[in-house]
Structure 1
Amino acid sequence: MKKLLPLFAIALLFSCNNTAQNLSSKKQEIINAKPVEVPLKKGKARAYFASGCFWCVEAVYESVEGVEESISGYSGGWTENPTYEASNTGRTGHAEAVEIIYDPNIVNFATLVDVYFASQNPTQVNGQGPDRGSQYRSIIFYQNAEQKKIIEEKKTALAEKLDAKIAAEIYPFQKFWVAEDYHQNFEKRNPNHPYIKGVSVPRLKRFQSKMPEVLKDDAKH
């Protein structure tokens, strides 16, 4: 039995290495993919961001003037029809993300990127606050070369300002999967939830204090 243990350990090592290589290959395919550009619908544009728990990010963007709606979901991975439970394993490749529906005549993409960085700890890798894991990693999705340039320039400027490495990854947008109904508008519908009171609301308030000039009137009070 003792002789078999080293062989088992070697087999397990190769299995883990192969799994890691496969995941790395899948991730690289996504990063190298051609971005999908989402057309305007009734004059409204869409943008996609991942930055920790989508309950928090949804509330942040819905406080911004020009944002019509923020929808929680999953993006950045390779698994079809991801669920909350599957995403939480970290094996789907997806991160919790939000779809931002906005009026480009009121707020532009560059400002939405500023909101993104101002509403998080930009140096935290694979998570935000108490939420840890690849499903909570920071990703900014671009739909065309212009958006990619905006993201890269702002990320570089922030890195220089903070003299630190910025954790946000930059992905070409592929597809957004809408999360389960109970996740939508979670902060508004569950104001007394311990996570909302202890994590989400404080994060929202920190952001609002940094960028009061972009807030809707009812978010300034």
Structure 2
Amino acid sequence: MQTFVLAGGCFWCLDAVYRTLHGVTDVVSGYTGGEVPSPSYEQVCTGRTGHAEVVAVTFDPDVIPADVILDVFFTLHDPRQLNRQGNDVGTQYRSAMFYSSPEQKALFDASVVRAADLWDGTVVTEVVPLTEFFSAEEYHQDFFAKNPGQGYCMAVAVPKVNKVRKSFAQYIRAA
């Protein structure tokens, strides 16, 4: 098993997308990259802790290749937006990849190069060392499945899930 810690806007969207993929065994929403120990959602939302909203995606690379996990990441968010995704604005919504080994850094760097070929403009995704990961509060875990009719989920998460389902159909779990 491998785990990638990725930030691409609100963690609800990343969580919703990665849970649909065959070979993904766990997704944990959380926070990393900041200075405040054990931050709360409310603290992170201020943008003053330095943390990003992230997901820790654990997957079986024999079932779904690492490159696919990373290509999905660059499909489901716009890596050209600095410190934001759509209407979600602040450093907590930055595009970032947090590596835990030199091998992960190399994979992440290569995926940024691939992403630059897909997107017009400059990819601003940070590739930085993973610092301490803090799990988000329980109500954030699997938020989309627990709140499918919630306005943000309908307006923002559903289009992202549908885009990935279309682009990566061969990796989508059977319903």
TM over 0.5: yes
Instruction: Give the counterpart of 2:72 among 115, 129, 134.
Output: 115
Matching of residues 37-186 of structure 1 within 5 Å: 44-186=1-143
The question of whether the paired residues in 2 share the 8 Å contact of 1:126 and 1:136 is answered with yes
1:187 counterpart = 2:144: yes
- Structure with greater helix share of residues: 1
d(CA) in 1 for partners of 2:120 and 2:38? 39
Aligned CA distance change for structure 1 residues 111 and 161 (closer, same or farther; 3 Å) = closer
d(CA) in 2 for partners of 1:138 and 1:162? 14
TM-score by length of 2: 0.93
- Percent identity between matched residues is 38
Where does structure 2 lack aligned partners over 5 or more consecutive residues? none
* Aligned residue pair count: 175
Mark the structure with the bigger radius of gyration.
1
d(CA) in 2 for partners of 1:99 and 1:151? 14
Deviations 1:139-185 (A, max 9, x none): 11112112211211221232244342102110111221001111111
Where does structure 1 lack aligned partners over 5 or more consecutive residues? 1-43
The Cα of 1:45 is off from its aligned counterpart by 2.6
RMSD: 1.4
- Structure with greater strand share of residues: 2
Judge which range, 209-218 or 52-61, deviates more.
Answer: 209-218
Ranges of 4+ aligned residues in structure 1 off by more than 4 Å: none
Aligned CA distance change for structure 1 residues 191 and 131 (closer, same or farther; 3 Å) = same
Equivalent residue for 1:11? none
